[in-house]
Every structure is written in C-alpha cells, then in structure tokens.
C-alpha cells in the first residue's frame, strides 16, 4: 500500500471517529435537555374529589371541572389544593353549584362558579404577586351587598344605576354572564322588554324541575334590571318545545293581589351545549296599591248609586 492510500485511510478513520463522538455528544445533550424539561414541568396535583364532582384538573394554568349539585365551599377548597393558589372563603358563603368548565383560566373559572351558585350574591377579589409577570397568589370569595344582597343575588353595575339604553344593557349582561346577548329596550321605560343569551358554566336543564330552578335563579339575579322582587313573582310551567326549551310564565303580584297583564315569560333551553335563557318582560316595577278607592272611582260610584252584587 503506497503512502497516499495510507494517508486517505487514516483521514477516513479519523473523520468517522469524530462524527461518532459528535453524534454521541449531541445525543447526550438532547437527553439532558429532555430530562431537564421533565424536571421543570410541574406535575398535576392529585386531590380527592368532593361529593358531586366528577372531574377536577388544573394543568398549565387552566382548570377543567365537572360538578353537579356539589357543595360550593368544598369545590373551592379542592380547586385551591389542585392549583396551589390560596382561596379564602368569607363566612356565610354557602350553597350548591353545577358547572362544566372545559379548561379555562382560574380567574374566569372562579367567577363562573360564583355566578352559577344557586344562592347567588357572591364575588371574588384577586391578589397577585409582583414580579416579571403578575402571578395569582390569593383569591378571596365574599358576599356582595350584605345579607340582603346575597339573598336577592342581583348585582348592580359599577354606576349603581340601571342601564339607560340597549347598549348599556348589552354591556352589563356580557360582563355579568359572558358572551353576547340580544336585547330589546324601550328608552325611558322601566326595566327591559326582552333579553336572550347563553350562560357559560351553568349546566343545561335535563327536565322541567331543573329548568324552573334556573329560571328562578336568573330572575333573582336580574331583579335589579326588571325591578320586581322575587317574592312578588309566581311562576308556572307552560310547555316544552325543541326550539325554546322549557317555557314558564311568572305573574307579578302586589300585596298578594295579581296584577293584570304584568308578567315575565322565561324560556330555558340549550344551544351548543350551553344553557340558553330568553326573557320577555311586561311587568310594572313601580306599582302601588291602596286599600281605599280613588276619589274619581268613589264619585263615580256615588253618582251611579249603590253597586250591584
């Protein structure tokens, strides 16, 4: 073998050795990086599920939850343990909650749960830790407006005044319940004429009883808008249809006396897996009544003689 062939063979052997060393080093680096990524990625915390909760997971800042008629405080405690975020629940916050959350941010999830609670009237305050990015540190669940506000469940806009037009009403409903709402509104008239929209986090009704509970809850929650106290409304089931769902008629009463043609018609159904609520309003928010007849009616009765029975 001449000198040139020996030199070429040595170069080939050295090149193959260098490639093998380089490939081996790259494999070791890749494996090391993968191992580091595994170490850095936080593992999902395992928590015991409260009664009524079928699923609860918190991964990458998103909460997945399926709950039906579960205790609100127990659900909040489980979320705190799963997320590692402290949740302080004020005394007096209680009730049942049903919700289906398919992986949503924790703040949005808490707000949705509090809106879905059957007792209503609750809010949340979020405390964040300063740093390169704001990190959620503590959530405080409180009752809004004291015992009376919690019982009514109706939440006023920041201005404290009812919406004055359709635009303000739509903005309020979107902020309160999420999604876009359709509204009909008569300027200068008390209350609204009609509203329709969906409520994320509220499980669609499976029967008439569940639909009635949602209707009552929604009327309590919107009492500030339609202006009639829940105690002055009496509802009854009317019909069921594929388009509207379960339809109810709530008659308005004043001091135990029904008011003619003063009603709230409520349809509770579902669309795209979400609870849909439609309300038509013909109530009289500022109604008043007197036990004695008006002077005009008294004169008319006097002029016409004794009333017949």
Tens of pLDDT, residue by residue, the chain (309 residues): 555 555 554 444 445 544 444 444 444 444 444 444 444 445 567 888 999 999 999 998 899 999 998 999 999 999 999 999 999 888 778 888 888 888 888 888 888 888 888 766 677 887 776 554 557 778 888 766 433 333 344 555 555 567 778 888 888 888 887 778 888 876 545 567 899 998 876 788 889 999 998 999 898 888 888 888 888 899 999 999 988 899 999 999 988 888 888 899 999 999 888 889 999 988 876 655 444 444 444 444 444 444 333
Where residue 86 falls (left for φ over 0; alpha for ψ -120 to 50; beta otherwise) is beta
**Which of helix, strand or coil describes residue 204?**
coil
Distance CA 40, CA 44 (A): 12
Pairing relation of β-strands 96-105 and 53-59? unpaired
Check whether domain 53-151 has CATH 3.30.1370.120, yes or no: yes
Map tokens 């050795």 to a residue. 17
30 phi, psi to nearest 5 deg: -60, -45
Residue 120: CB atoms within 10 A of its CB come to 22
Predicted TM-score (pTM) of the model is: 0.48
């Amino acid at each position: 073998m001449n000198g040139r062939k020996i030199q070429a063979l040595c170069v080939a052997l050295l090149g193959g050795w260098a490639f093998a060393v380089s490939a081996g080093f790259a494999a070791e680096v890749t494996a090391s990086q993968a191992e580091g990524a595994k170490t850095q990625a936080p593992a999902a915390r395992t928590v015991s599920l409260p009664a009524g909760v079928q699923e609860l997971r918190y991964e990458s800042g998103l909460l997945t939850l399926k709950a039906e008629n579960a205790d609100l405080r127990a659900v909040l405690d489980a979320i705190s343990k799963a997320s590692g975020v402290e949740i302080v629940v004020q005394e007096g916050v209680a009730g049942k909650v049903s919700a289906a959350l398919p992986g949503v941010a924790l703040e949005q999830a808490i707000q949705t749960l509090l809106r879905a609670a059957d007792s209503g009237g609750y809010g949340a305050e979020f405390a964040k830790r300063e740093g390169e990015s704001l990190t959620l540190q503590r959530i405080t669940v409180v009752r809004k407006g004291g015992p009376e506000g919690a019982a009514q469940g109706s939440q006023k806009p920041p201005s404290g005044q009812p919406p004055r037009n359709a635009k303000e009403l739509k903005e309020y409903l979107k902020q309160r319940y999420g999604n876009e709402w359709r509204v009909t509104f008569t300027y200068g008239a008390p209350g609204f004429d009609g509203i329709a929209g969906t409520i994320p986090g509220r499980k669609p009704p499976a029967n008439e009883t569940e639909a009635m509970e949602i209707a009552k809850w929604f009327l309590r929650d919107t009492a500030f808008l339609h202006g009639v106290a829940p105690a002055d409304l009496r509802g009854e089931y009317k019909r069921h249809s594929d388009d509207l769902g379960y339809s109810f008629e709530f008659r308005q009463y004043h001091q135990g006396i029904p008011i003619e043609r003063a009603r709230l018609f409520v349809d509770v159904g579902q669309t795209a897996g979400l609870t849909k609520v439609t309300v038509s309003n013909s109530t009289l928010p500022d109604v008043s009544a007197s036990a004695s007849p008006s002077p005009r009616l008294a004169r008319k009765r006097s002029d016409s003689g004794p009333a017949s029975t």
